[in-house]
Amino acid sequence: MAIRFGTDGWRGVIAEDFTFDNVRVVAQAVAGLIRDESASEAPVPVGYDVRFLSGRFAEAVAAVLEGNGVPTMLPDGPVTTPMVSCQVVASGAPLGICITASHNPPEYNGFKLKAAFGGSAPPEMTARVEALLGRTPPRSGRPPDRRHPFLPAYLPRLQAVADLDAVRRSPLRVVVDSMHGSGGRILENLVRGRRADVVTLRGDADPLFGGKAPEPRPENLASLRRTVVQRRAHIGIATDGDADRIGACDENGRVLSPFQIFSLVALHLIEQKKWTGGIARTFANTLVAERIARRFGLPFFDLPVGFKHIARLMLEQDILIGGEESGGIGVKRYLPERDGILIGLLLLELLATGDRRLSRRVARLEKEFGRYAYRRVDLPMPVESAREAVTRIREDPPARLDTLTVEAIDTLDGVRLLFGDHGWILFRASGTEPILRVYCEARTPALVDRLVRAGLERLRLDPVNLQQAADRHQAGDQEDREQDSRRQAGRPDGPGTLGDQPRQKRHEGRQGEQVDGPSSSGQRGRQGVQETRRYRHDCERGDAEQVGLVDHLFEGAAGGDAQERVEGYPVPAVDDAVIGSHGDHHAIDRQRHQEAALPAEGREGGAQQEPRIPAASEGFRDDLSVHLTFRKMPKSSVQA
């Protein structure tokens, strides 16, 4: 199996490609790189997320590095990738490692490499690691016994950018969705205080992520949208599996596109914080970014997909903000690194210092810089087929697509056809999964649909049935309405509602309000066993060590508490007033959630009305679930 570093690290299917043997091979190559090119003797931070076996993989990496005389430090629990980045800089380490597959589906894990400056390793660094693969057999040492909290290095970096006190003083009502990932309750613990009211959904660690990819996209945020409307919150914020990406919805439950989040934060930095610097976007990003740069006379940069390109530019230029289509955004005065929690704090700061209705902020943005619809369609296919499809359109580009004339063609990363101010469409093979991605931004949703359809026909692929996708959205909305009716009538929730949240149960707050609280459900554990069967089968070609650990997960899942048997999830203690202390933080959270009913008085908007849940088709449309299956694909390692 070829091990290759892609957009951000190396990723593969657990027990098939991502095995202990392969992880040790990569760790040995990293140790060789450190010995050859670094004079630093500071310990290398080796972090890990909540995924299946991540902690054990991190220990295996640390053992190999220690066996090569490279000191390491392990965290005292799962951490976000930005926390590893901050620890690298704080320690003066030659590099950092995080075992995570970020937003990928649960069956994946990955190996992210961070450079000494804290950002993603540049291509030349990962190329040197690849060149060292297999040259020396992995050496075995002993991982360090002592564990270190990474939060003390992380918190000052956040405070240097965001005004946490202003957020805590503001009467904001916030719902956070951590998607069972490493973000946990960090954001909630950071901002809850004098007046801010924060509730976290899916804040417990779950290696299966509830059976979905932990990516903050509209189709994965139904519970966040509903809870924001039901609690009359000002904003909903979601982070991905390792919390370096962000998603958000407004007070009406409408999901913002990553482009809107990027643009709102950029305007906040420029207009409210009075910061200056260039604006950098990756290839699959919005036209609005360039318009903002032009309006304020700021330098503008267009880069290939992957935050590592933005990170390098941040080292070379004075960059105010850089962002990618996926919701990875970084800002100056932090690190050359993206961070979903930091961007969430900046959104809260934006609301705390002005109009607290996020929908009005978006309306103003669209009025001043133009309104665009956006969609990304993912088409699963073998990696080579995706590359061939992109090559076909590169070699034979159209002069027109649908009703629009192609005014320019850009092949910086994939093939992007530009239609002037009317929009663009990009065809690109994914760097994280065996998928062909089609990105499109245009003036209206209907025009986006037509351009995507015409583009797929141009690629000589079967066009996506967009009407069928719309029907699926409507079916989901109808299910939401039915579940809400059942809930109001006192009947149990069906699947797909808040009551179906993995390893969570419903609690009654004051006034009968139903809120989420973490638990280990035997029913969910049994479902976890079924979903995890593939792991057991995947181990047929893996090593005996991995087989035993998979069996260990089954034992825990069958008992309903696989989470506790796989990884703990402590919140490191730094400042009790800000973060909380060690101990049963889940019990503390349950008590707080049980007491968190929202009082009727003081709500914005005057008289109380029954909250309306917006349809999924309203606002940002992004059909990750629209897939074409060309043939059954063999599982293979993919670039990250």
Classified as helix, coil or strand, 144 is coil
Tally Cβ neighbours within 10 Å of residue 611.
15
User: Of the ranges 66-70, 304-308, 623-627, which one carries the lowest mean pLDDT score?
Assistant: 623-627
Do 228 and 172 form a contact (C-beta atoms < 8 A)? Answer: no
Beta strands in 240-386 (DSSP E): 246-249, 255-256, 278-282, 300-303, 319-323, 329-331, 373-380
Place of tokens 């409307």: 229
What per-residue string of b and e applies to 484-513 under the rule 16 or more CB within 10 Å gives b?
Answer: beebeeeeebeeebbbebbbbeebebeeee
Per-residue pLDDT at 219 exceeds 80: yes
pLDDT tens string 129-152: 999 999 999 999 999 999 999 999
Architecture of the 160-369 domain: 3-Layer(aba) Sandwich (3.40)
Which pLDDT belongs to residue 308?
Answer: 87
Do 505 and 517 form a contact (C-beta atoms < 8 A)? Answer: yes
Which pLDDT belongs to residue 188?
Answer: 96
Which pLDDT belongs to residue 133?
Answer: 96
Is CATH 3.40.120.10 the right assignment for the domain spanning 10-148? yes
Residues 6+ apart with CB under 8 A from 307: 8, 119, 120, 282, 322, 324, 328, 330, 337, 338
User: Of the ranges 258-272, 393-407, 419-433, 576-590, which one carries the lowest mean pLDDT score?
Assistant: 576-590
The amino acid present at 234, given as its one-letter code, is H
pLDDT tens string 445-481: 899 999 999 998 888 765 444 444 344 434 444 444 4
Percentage of residues in the chain with pLDDT exceeding 90?
57
The Cα–Cα gap between 228 and 236 comes to 6
CA angle centred on 369, ends 363 and 373, rounded to 5°: 70
Do 82 and 154 form a contact (C-beta atoms < 8 A)? Answer: yes
What sign results for the dihedral spanned by CA atoms 53, 57, 58, 62? positive
Q: Comparing 108 with 326, which gets the higher pLDDT?
A: 108
* Parts of the chain belonging to CATH 3.40.120.10: 10-148, 160-369
Tally Cβ neighbours within 10 Å of residue 137.
9
Per-residue pLDDT at 169 exceeds 50: yes
* Parts of the chain belonging to CATH 3.30.310.50: 373-464+623-639
Measure CA 30 to chain center: 26
Tally Cβ neighbours within 10 Å of residue 230.
19
Do 382 and 633 form a contact (C-beta atoms < 8 A)? Answer: yes
Q: How far is CA 428 from CA 13, 388, 434, 440, 585, in A?
A: 22, 10, 11, 11, 43
User: Of the ranges 51-55, 438-442, 570-574, which one carries the lowest mean pLDDT score?
Assistant: 570-574
Which pLDDT belongs to residue 495?
Answer: 29
Which pLDDT belongs to residue 355?
Answer: 86
Q: How confident is the model at residue 547 (pLDDT cuts 50, 70, 90)?
A: very low
Classified as helix, coil or strand, 47 is strand
* Fold that domain 373-464+623-639 belongs to in CATH: TATA-Binding Protein (3.30.310)
Residue (of 225, 180, 343) closest to 620 by Cα position: 225
Which pLDDT belongs to residue 88?
Answer: 98
